[in-house]
């Protein structure tokens, strides 16, 4: 705020002979505010301006008028500018917290600008009674996977508290590669504990904790923000540095050697397994062929032995000699059943004889 003021003072607006006034005014939210800037109605070629300066914003022209009498009224939102006898008035209806700024009345005459009056208007809301927000520093560096606990302490004084609204605590992370902080966590009703000071019972300290296991992407500065009664108070911030282990060159070579040896051992195991499988298959084939051959030879031998037994059988057939018989005997013979009688059956093996 002061930086903008000094920059404006360094700009060559020309010399002025008017009496300059700068004051400070404190008002509560909802209160009406009136700022006056003296004017001379006899000056015909003079203009008056009310402008507002807010930190990190461009100056805003709220209204302008000629120095001589005019009935023109200008209104911007809830701010009105108009002439009254001998003065150029800026009126703020029901001031808001956003109306906190520096207000300047500027006179422009013959291409020369003069600051007539400056007022720093501070609009205050209900006092939450918070006297400070602090954060504990972290023990750096932290390695990936380590648990980290962030703590935020909120100090308050119940004697100065005029706001009955409870405060809320949020955690933000700001990273160097991000333009805006990102919200990462908000506390519930049971995620903190409070204690009162033994020396001053009106003093109270509430501690909020936030824990997480970090990785390399969690690097940044963490801020706790306390929101209450239309205000936001930030802590001092805690920087978190994540240290990623560096793999040295000799460690990399050692790792590559171990991997190579493991690959070689795996290849040898695969070759041995393939050889064993091939050997087992060939052995099974040989056993099956030998079994078939043995069965074939056994069957052939049995057939040969059976053939020899059949060849060694000797058959004897009876020989009948025809005789002249009588007719009566022939009739009796026909009537009698024919009987074939073998005289002898003998089995012998080659090279052996029976007695």
Q: In whole angstroms, what is the distance from residue 119 CA to residue 34 CA? A: 11
Confidence of residue 310 (pLDDT cuts 50, 70, 90): low
**Non-local CB neighbours of 225 within 8 Å, separated by 6+ positions:** 169, 170, 171, 172, 232, 233, 234, 235
Please report the pLDDT score of residue 249 as a whole number: 56
Query: CATH second-level architecture of 130-240?
Result: Sandwich (2.60)
The listed CATH number (2.40.110.20, 3.40.190.10, 1.10.287.540, 2.60.40.10) that belongs to domain 20-124: 2.60.40.10
Mean pLDDT of 2-29: 61
Which tops the pLDDT comparison, 115 or 229?
A: 115
Which of 82-86, 277-281, 331-335 has the lowest average pLDDT? 331-335
CA distance linking residue 219 with residue 216, whole number of Å: 6
Question: pLDDT-derived band of residue 35, with 50, 70 and 90 as boundaries?
Answer: very high
Each as own residue / partner, the long-range contacts of residues 9-16 (CB below 8 Å, 24 or more positions apart, any chain) are 13/112, 13/113, 13/114, 13/115, 14/112, 14/113, 14/114, 15/112, 16/107, 16/112, 16/114, 16/115
Under DSSP, the state recorded for 229 is: T
CB 59, CB 11: distance < 8 Å: no
Percent share of the chain, pLDDT over 70: 72
Q: Is 338's pLDDT higher than 70?
A: no
- pLDDT of 327 reads 53
Pairing between β-strand 147-157 and β-strand 238-240 as defined by DSSP bridges: unpaired
Sequence spans of domains, the chain: 20-124, 130-240
Lowest mean pLDDT among 37-41, 122-126, 140-144, 348-352: 348-352
Confidence at residue 42, expressed as pLDDT on a 0 to 100 scale: 81
- Is there a shared CATH topology between the 20-124 domain and the 130-240 domain? yes
pLDDT value at 303 more than 80:
no
**Neighbour order of strands in the sheet with 101-109:** 21-28, 112-124, 101-109, 46-53, 60-66
pLDDT 10s digits, 182-217: 888 887 656 678 888 777 777 888 899 888 888 888
| 243-265 tens-digit pLDDT | 776 655 556 678 888 988 999 99
Q: Who wins on pLDDT, 333 or 64?
A: 64
For residue 316, count other CB atoms closer than 10 A to its CB: 10
CA 291-292-298 angle, 5° bins: 90
Collect all residues with Cβ–Cβ distance below 8 Å to 163 and sequence separation of at least 6.
125, 126, 127, 128, 129, 228, 229
Is the per-residue pLDDT at 325 higher than 60? no
In the predicted structure, residue 283 carries a pLDDT above the cut 90: no
Q: What is the mean pLDDT of the chain?
A: 77
Tokens of 328: 């009566």
174/286: higher pLDDT: 174
**Banded model confidence at residue 282, pLDDT cuts 50, 70, 90:** confident
Say which residues have a Cβ less than 8 Å from residue 238's Cβ, sequence separation at least 6.
135, 136, 137, 138, 150, 221, 222, 223
pTM for the full model? 0.43
∠ CA 187-189-195, rounded to 5°:
95
pLDDT mean over 2-12 = 45
Which among 101, 90, 113, 100 has a CA at the least distance from the CA of 37? 90
């Amino acid at each position: 705020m002061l930086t903008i003021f000094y920059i404006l003072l360094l700009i060559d607006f020309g010399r002025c002979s008017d009496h300059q006034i700068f004051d400070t005014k404190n008002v509560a939210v909802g209160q009406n505010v009136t700022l006056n800037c003296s004017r001379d109605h006899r000056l015909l070629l003079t203009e008056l301006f009310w402008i507002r300066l807010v930190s990190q914003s461009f100056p805003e022209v709220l209204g302008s008028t000629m120095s001589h009498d005019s009935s023109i009224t200008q209104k911007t939102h809830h701010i009105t500018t108009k002439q009254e006898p001998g003065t150029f008035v800026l009126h703020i209806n029901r001031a808001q917290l956003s109306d906190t700024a520096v207000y300047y009345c500027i006179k422009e005459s013959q291409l020369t600008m003069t600051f007539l009056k400056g007022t720093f208007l501070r609009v205050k809301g209900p006092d939450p009674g918070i006297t400070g927000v602090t954060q504990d520093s972290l023990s750096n560096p932290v390695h990936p996977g380590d648990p980290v606990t962030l703590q935020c302490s909120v100090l308050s004084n119940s004697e100065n508290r005029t706001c009955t609204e409870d405060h809320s605590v949020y955690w933000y992370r700001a990273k160097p590669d991000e333009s805006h902080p990102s919200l990462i966590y908000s506390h519930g009703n049971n995620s903190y504990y409070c204690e009162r000071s033994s020396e001053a019972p009106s003093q109270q300290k509430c501690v909020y904790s936030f824990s997480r296991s970090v990785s390399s992407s969690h690097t940044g500065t963490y801020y706790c923000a306390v929101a209450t009664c239309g205000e936001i108070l930030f802590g001092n911030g805690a920087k978190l540095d994540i240290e990623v282990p560096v793999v040295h060159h000799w460690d990399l070579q050692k790792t590559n050697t171990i991997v190579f040896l493991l690959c070689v051992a795996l290849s040898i195991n695969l070759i041995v397994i393939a050889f064993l499988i091939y050997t087992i298959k060939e052995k099974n084939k040989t056993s099956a062929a030998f079994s078939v051959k043995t069965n074939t030879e056994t069957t052939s031998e049995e057939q040969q032995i059976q053939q020899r037994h059949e060849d060694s059988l000797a058959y004897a057939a009876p020989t009948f000699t025809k005789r002249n018989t009588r007719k009566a005997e022939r009739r009796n013979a026909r009537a009698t059943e024919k009987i074939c009688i073998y005289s002898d059956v003998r089995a012998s093996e080659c090279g052996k004889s029976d007695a």
